[in-house]
Amino acid sequence: MHVRFSAAPVPADSALVARLVEQDALPADLPAVVAEGAKQSRFTGKTGQVHEAFVAQGEAIARVALAGIGARGEGDRRAALEKAGAGLTARYLTSGVTTLALDLAGSGLAADETAAVLLAARLRGWRWDAWRTTLKDDQKPTLAEIVVHGAPEGAEAAWQRESALAEGVELTRELVTEPGNVLYPESFVVRVQGRVAGTGLEVTVLDEAAMRDLGMGALLGVAQGSLRSPRILALRWNGAAADAKPVAFVGKGVTFDSGGISLKPGAGMEDMKWDMGGAGAVAGAMLALAKRRAKANVVGICGLVENMPDGGAQRPGDVVKTMSGQTVEVINTDAEGRLVLCDVLTWTQKTFQPATIIDLATLTGAIIATLGNEYAGLFSNDDALAERILAAGKACGEQLWRLPMGAVYDKMIDSPIADMKNMGSRYAGSITAAQFIQRFIDKGADGKATPWAHLDIAGMVWADKPGQTWDKGATGYGVRLIDRIVRDAHEA
């Protein structure tokens, strides 16, 4: 959806005009029929309310939409504004109207508040209809443009930053939505390379031969049952001083996860096309950071494999040697994400020497059992880093909940024949997965480990019903979170 700003008043022939309304503060200049209709329908401007009226414009009829943004100073202002913007798009996306005139004259909104409304409006309008060929006309999106009138000073510049973020979220949703026969490690790389071309991102790609030379036995063990060759995609953005160590975001990218020899149940297996949601979030976030010219040094690394069960597939009981030199007894081939991450994390640390590492992965079903689809799980070896991530999640609406770690859980993945097992018992599955990953975080000369956090986002990347800023399907979770972490803690 395109957004543009106009210095002119709202044209008299506009087919759809929308206004934002504070709670219990209907604008005094509303046409009488609109104001009276709002009162009679009990529209008061509460967050999420949308009221529609029709007014005569000469011989034409125009729609007027009122979207409630709640009372200023009460609740989460950003969330209220986003709900209003998204609500307008949801209401009119397939209405037949192509342009919405957003009249902000006298609204009292600040520049960043305006950008929040527009970001939500654009995100709610994203759909992926590439594979739908029989949609009826009244099911097809028509709303293609929002024209902003009466915007506050600085709103257009604020929107330029947020529009870059929107592009990143949209790329992530596209990657997560595509089926496994279309999106696999090689095609993931090609698609992302095409989207980031010309942005200034430095791109590095490792193929299977390079990974073998580096000794990535864990990642290659996951990939060996598939005809699709694995890849590592690294995107580097240098927006700060050359000598400043980067923050690294590492994403699990299992483009389809059958479970391997430890085959998943057939029911719902189609959902495993989105087991690359962590890598998708990293790719989308790196596009957003580059598009808005972030003043930080950031690397985004995607470990890309397909987990399939052919005659050459990894077996339960196999032992693999990781790039770090540590060995892993593979108890369950469906606990594959941590095997991918461990080698990618080792390579990331050796290649980029990051000051901070944050990995994102659709890692465990246990995190969904624990937190549902409301929070991602957060694990960390550093309290200050964990607090920054929690604050960033709250600020952008992509919430997390911190879970414990400790030696008592670490013992649950000790192996009798190797350095560790790739899973523990049926209990504390998300925690033991985090304990596994932590074993691959290096320590410096001072004996202190690099600040690291693991985000288990399995319950967040796909939604079975529409949310505030997304339709049913891919949510784009992680892009806004990464962007907010960089804005708050790493930009110069």
Which pLDDT score is estimated for 262? 98
* Mean pLDDT, residues 142-162 taken together: 97
Which pLDDT score is estimated for 58? 76
Domains of the chain, first to last: 2-150 (3.40.220.10), 163-489 (3.40.630.10)
Which pLDDT score is estimated for 81? 97
Structure tokens at 391: 């604050």
State the chain's mean pLDDT as an integer. Answer: 97
Which pLDDT score is estimated for 464? 95
Residue 73 has pLDDT above 90, yes or no: no
Model confidence band, residue 267 (pLDDT cutoffs 50, 70, 90): very high
* Mean pLDDT, residues 453-460 taken together: 98
* Mean pLDDT, residues 75-88 taken together: 96
Q: How many CB atoms lie within 10 A of CB 185?
A: 27
User: Could you write out the DSSP letters of every residue in 325-371?
Assistant: S-EEE-S-TT--HHHHHHHHHHHHHHHH--SEEEEEE---HHHHHHH
- Tens of pLDDT, residues 13-69: 899 999 999 999 999 999 999 999 999 999 999 999 999 999 987 778 889 999 999
Q: What angle do CA 298, 217, 418 make, to 5 degrees?
A: 115
Residue 75 has pLDDT above 90, yes or no: no
By CB atoms closer than 10 A (0-12, 13-18, 19+), residue 156 is middle
Model confidence band, residue 469 (pLDDT cutoffs 50, 70, 90): very high
CA distance 160 to 199: 15
Residue 259 has pLDDT above 80, yes or no: yes
| Closest alpha carbon to 170 in 192, 137, 190 | 192
Residue 99 has pLDDT above 80, yes or no: yes
Three-state SS for 42?
coil
Residue 374 has pLDDT above 90, yes or no: yes
Model confidence band, residue 492 (pLDDT cutoffs 50, 70, 90): low
User: Could you write out the DSSP letters of every residue in 245-293?
Assistant: PPEEEEEEEEEEE--TTSPPPSTTGGGGGGTTHHHHHHHHHHHHHHHTT
Report yes or no: 457 and 361 within 8 Å, Cβ to Cβ: yes
* Mean pLDDT, residues 243-265 taken together: 98
> Which residues participate in catalysis according to the annotation?
264, 338
Residue 345 has pLDDT above 70, yes or no: yes
Question: Rounded to two decimals, what is the model's pTM?
Answer: 0.97
- Tens of pLDDT, residues 404-417: 999 999 999 999 99
The full length of the chain comes to 492
Which pLDDT score is estimated for 59? 77
